[in-house]
Amino acid sequence: MKKIIYSLDYLRIMACIMVIGIHNIYLVSENTHGIMYISVNHLVRLGLPLFFLLSSIALENSVEYIKNLKRYYLNKVLSLGIYFLIFSIFYYEYTNDKIYSIISVVKNIPYGFLATFTSSQFYHMWYMYSLIGLVLWLPFLKVLLKKITFKQHFCLATILFICLVLKIYMKVLIGECHWTSWGIYYIIGALTLRAEYKKYYNHTIIMGIIAFAFSIIIEKHNPMSVLMNNIFDYGPLMIIQVVGVFVLFIKLNDLMQKINKKINNMIHQVSMLTYLIYLCHPAVMDFSISFLWKFKDTLCMSKGILFFIFVVVNVFVISSMIAVIFKINEKILTYLLNKKLVSSFLDKSKCRE
């Protein structure tokens, strides 16, 4: 039975907006040591880890093990891989100035395709490699986590977190593995979704708030501290903050369910587009930023933070519209393909008769 957590649809959209904010943080203030810049930077930096944590829902959403691996991988390749390849090839050609004629675009498709398998082609596209990695071993990780008790799961998450602290703050590599980087979010995320974790909700939220404030204070007053090591991404302080936000929104689910059903459904539909928005927003920023700059000294947006919000929201909206266009085209192509297959099947049936 699929576990629906409506509030996480809102969080997914917020995480997507935060990621866009990371790439536009320079608009907030020229003073990168000011409290405004540091605070906003720490806030938007929550976005990418939240995406990893939200991916852990797939580990908890189904109690059934994935029996048909071939079908599972095929569906995931179609739903994730095709869009990733399309955008990755586009970014390869865009960053290498190959988009100047149709012939050049077509000629460089194979090069872009091969380059995709060796390195990220633009901004945070590297995230997709980690997501695809999750997809590959998700069926097996799901089996593992369903077989262990809550206490065992809690111990696993604690050990990994301690290993991460030793690795980042003390350079102790004992216990180092890929699970002590981005992978830890999947393990901890699945842990917080277990019913037994509810008694720790308030403690987790409070610790997250304290860690957020503490990380800002560290960067402001002691930027050379060892605690600044990996203060973003998968640093110990960031993990505590992100898990705190994640649990807060899980706790808010009952409140979110009381919101108008149509609004929740609309938010859900938008949240389903965040994968595509993530892929296309770098291009949208590059193509639209010069136009958006024309509004810098209008509409009371002379202050950096207001213009920052204006740019981020507009990039998100434009990216959402492009994502919708892609989805519409996908449905049209799927319909035509299915119609062709049905027609072909009927023709073969008539021939046999």
Maximum mean pLDDT: which of 99-103, 122-126, 187-191: 187-191
71-86 pLDDT, tens digit per residue, is 777 777 777 788 888 8
- Model confidence at 140: pLDDT above 90: no
Answer whether 185's CB lies under 8 Å from 56's CB.
Answer: yes
Mean pLDDT computed over every residue of the chain: 84
Q: Averaged over 241-258, what is the pLDDT? A: 91
CA 52 vs. chain centroid, Å, equals: 6
Residue 29: pLDDT band (50, 70, 90) is confident
**Domain ranges (residues) in the chain:** 6-284, 285-353
Residue 63: pLDDT band (50, 70, 90) is very low
- Model confidence at 237: pLDDT above 90: yes
Burial-class residue 235 by CB neighbours within 10 Å (0-12, 13-18, 19+): buried
Of 191, 193, 203, 134, whose CA–CA distance to 158 is shortest? 191
- DSSP secondary structure string for all residues of 165-188: HHHHHH---TT-SGGGTTTHHHHH
Residue 65: pLDDT band (50, 70, 90) is low
pTM: 0.88
- Model confidence at 173: pLDDT above 70: yes
Percent of the chain having pLDDT more than 70? Answer: 89
Residue 176: pLDDT band (50, 70, 90) is low
Q: What count of Cα atoms within 13 Å lies in the side-chain half-sphere of residue 129?
A: 13
Between 323 and 107, the more confident residue is 323
Question: What pLDDT is stored for residue 10 in this prediction?
Answer: 93
- DSSP secondary structure string for all residues of 51-82: HHHHHTHHHHS-SS----HHHHHHHHIIIIIH
Question: What pLDDT is stored for residue 1 in this prediction?
Answer: 46
188-222 pLDDT, tens digit per residue, is 988 998 889 999 999 999 999 999 999 999 999 98
Question: What pLDDT is stored for residue 349 in this prediction?
Answer: 55
Measured CA to CA, the distance from residue 38 to residue 219 in angstroms comes to 8
Cβ neighbours of residue 251 under 8 Å, at least 6 residues apart?
Answer: 201, 205
Residue 270: pLDDT band (50, 70, 90) is very high
Question: What pLDDT is stored for residue 215 in this prediction?
Answer: 94
Answer whether 19's CB lies under 8 Å from 124's CB.
Answer: yes
149-160 pLDDT, tens digit per residue, is 999 999 999 998
Please report where in the chains the tokens 């917020």 appear, as a residue: 14
